[in-house]
Structure 1
């Protein structure tokens, strides 16, 4: 039996595979296996360091005599530093390479995250949260940009869904881990459990920052684990994909692009819902009737388990159907329903059900959103565009905990804050339909 060959579209090299489609599928499967699990692990560390303050809150507020408003402002001020440095960070990554820049980001934030164990005043809390945002700025948008170096538009939604599974994984791993640290380490060596929490959970990011330098490649051409034929195929597909995208000719034209501002507005609503969940989830569960920090941590894993099932299913469906808008808007509306229903029900079981619905919807939305702007932009325009959209939208990370914390202090209950989150997510879902379907459904 004769072996059929797939011809590389650039190099013209014969490759012993059954056919061209099989060769392409196997090549992308190889890329996924090499990149996605490692990047997920890095983002898991990043997200854990960003939101573990929600667990520290269970002990820290009483120890330091902080109000809900102080906590909400401190949790949100992270995103001011993120906002200021995000676009420059992504542009630098595009110029110097992902390996060095992503490693720098992880190592810096690991040190700052561990420093929270020394906090004793609101000012120190605010300063360190701001510096953590500065240190981490560019990691998530940098990885999203990095994905555009490897995956064309028609394959990117599934890849991004897999990458963003790190967020629910952080909840699944981080919730029980954080609860255990608060429960088991409190008082060890004379330190409070929340201080041990910051110290211990900074270690994975420190190790992964070094690992990036040894493992990650800056792009297709430098990947020694790919054959010449595989590199040629991947580069050909990326070049063809970029040829269909709009490239801005000036900064003025870039800023005047209404599509980018629409994308930023949509993602602002998604992010507000996402951090409304992550920063307040432990508090909501405790108020539903769970007192032990260990069980609070265990129960917080359940909503993220639901999300980790939803993300790959929705991402695969979006790529298979070549449909982007409904796969973003519907999960947003589902999430809004979960947030709105939560204050109407009582008890642990009902609260967990609503939280599972809210988490599955909002975290699926977070990954599906990025199929929109990455389908429109390429090259340096993508580097700046992705960062700009993420930068503006992540201001919601400041407003979400700050407003919800203020509303909680004002009303003495969480109802107003949850309804505010739900309404904002609904507005974002409606804005999705202002994006022309023909420009993103590919």
Structure 2
């Protein structure tokens, strides 16, 4: 009997599916761990000021208000330069621009070791924000160059695992540096903290120049058929996306401003936890910077375990709003309950729920705007949402610090953060389901 040389449709479909699975697995292995590592370094440089606070305030005789304002003023520089930075990245490519961002902020972060006055602290925090502007939204935009919406939630969740990882690694590391290096060569532990934790960003910034590719076309590590399937999937999706042709049309898109308001609430909650978590652990009855650092890593271990589960569930069900809103509500409830608890154990349970919720909703939020924005509009839209919402990073530590000083109680700031997260979760109901839940 003569065997037919015609391949069956089922076999062709299976081969196409296998090719697509292989291509996305290769892209994920190549890009996601490296981008996570870069964001881990970025986040470490951004929030190590929370651990420096344990020694810095007493050494320099600063108040919580001075610290809160300095921690928050970072986001003013971030706000002013975020949109231009993302547009430059989209126009000239991610490789050189992301490298520039990382190298610049590493130098500035290390310079905090010589800060001696509130004014210098404010100026350096502002410059750090200017230097880092565009990194997170730039990476989010870069991910859209490789992955379609149907695969993006899982990738975003993996990328944002860098936030809890930064604290899991950074919390014990920061506590160890504070205790071990204090007094070495006449410098305090917080000075060594800023200098040593800037080194990973500097090294990774240089590595970006040799490792990242600006586009699918430029990726020599992909076979031609793999490139073709990746480009075809993106092309079929981009036909349904919005590309505003004028600034007026862009600014009048009410969906953009609704998402900005929601993300403002998310960032308010995230930084309300990040900047004050070490102090909350210490005030729960823990002594010693090293012990505080170890215990402060626990909430982020819980968040790390939850993120991939949330991402996989979101991609499976396509319920993007639900997977953003539920974690926000969990974080809000945990922060609301914190002032009414006693003991380190219960505080860590609630902080773990708060961290998992706040970071989980951050990763899933970015599946919303990237579902309907494309091209230069995506670059501008992601940056606009991120830069305006990150003003919450200014208001959160500033208001929490001020409320703590005025009331003499840590609970006032936690109540504020909880309320803002609740409002943001409610606003998700107004996001059109048909354009994001897909």
TM-score by length of 1: 0.96
Q: Deviations over 1:275-318 (max 9, x none)?
A: 00110000000100111000100011100000011111011100
Which of 234, 238, 247 matches 2:230? 234
Determine if contact 1:5/1:20 at 8 Å carries over to the other structure. no
Per-residue deviation, 1:66: 0.7
Alpha-carbon distance in structure 2 between the residues aligned to 1:101 and 1:210 = 11
Correspondence 1:75 to 2:71? yes
Determine if contact 1:78/1:131 at 8 Å carries over to the other structure. yes
Q: Deviations over 1:362-381 (max 9, x none)?
A: 00000000000000100000
Which of 425, 436, 442 matches 2:421? 425
Alpha-carbon distance in structure 2 between the residues aligned to 1:294 and 1:4 = 68
Aligned equivalent of 1:179: 175
Aligned equivalent of 1:199: 195
Alpha-carbon distance in structure 2 between the residues aligned to 1:22 and 1:328 = 31
Alpha-carbon distance in structure 1 between the residues aligned to 2:91 and 2:242 = 20
Correspondence 1:391 to 2:387? yes
Structure 1, unaligned stretches of length 5 or more? 8-14
Correspondence 1:400 to 2:396? yes
Aligned equivalent of 2:157: 161
Alpha-carbon distance in structure 2 between the residues aligned to 1:278 and 1:4 = 60
Aligned equivalent of 1:23: 19
Q: Deviations over 1:205-233 (max 9, x none)?
A: 00000000010000100000000000011
Alpha-carbon distance in structure 2 between the residues aligned to 1:6 and 1:39 = 40
Determine if contact 1:55/1:178 at 8 Å carries over to the other structure. yes
Alpha-carbon distance in structure 1 between the residues aligned to 2:93 and 2:367 = 23
Correspondence 1:414 to 2:410? yes
Which of 271, 278, 296 matches 1:275? 271
Moved >4 Å (runs of 4+): 1-7, 15-18
Aligned equivalent of 2:117: 121
Aligned equivalent of 2:342: 346
Alpha-carbon distance in structure 2 between the residues aligned to 1:5 and 1:235 = 25
Summarize the Cα distance change of 1:417–1:235 in structure 2 as closer, same or farther, 3 Å threshold.
same
Aligned equivalent of 1:47: 43
Correspondence 1:151 to 2:147? yes
How many equivalent pairs are there?
435
TM-score by length of 2: 0.97
In structure 2, the residue corresponding to 1:222 is in which secondary structure? coil
Q: Deviations over 1:131-184 (max 9, x none)?
A: 000000000000000011000111111101100000000010000000000011
Summarize the Cα distance change of 1:3–1:148 in structure 2 as closer, same or farther, 3 Å threshold.
farther
Aligned equivalent of 1:61: 57
Alpha-carbon distance in structure 1 between the residues aligned to 2:366 and 2:74 = 22
Aligned equivalent of 2:356: 360
Alpha-carbon distance in structure 2 between the residues aligned to 1:436 and 1:26 = 34
In structure 1, the residue corresponding to 2:65 is in which secondary structure? helix
Alpha-carbon distance in structure 2 between the residues aligned to 1:288 and 1:90 = 41
Determine if contact 1:4/1:17 at 8 Å carries over to the other structure. no
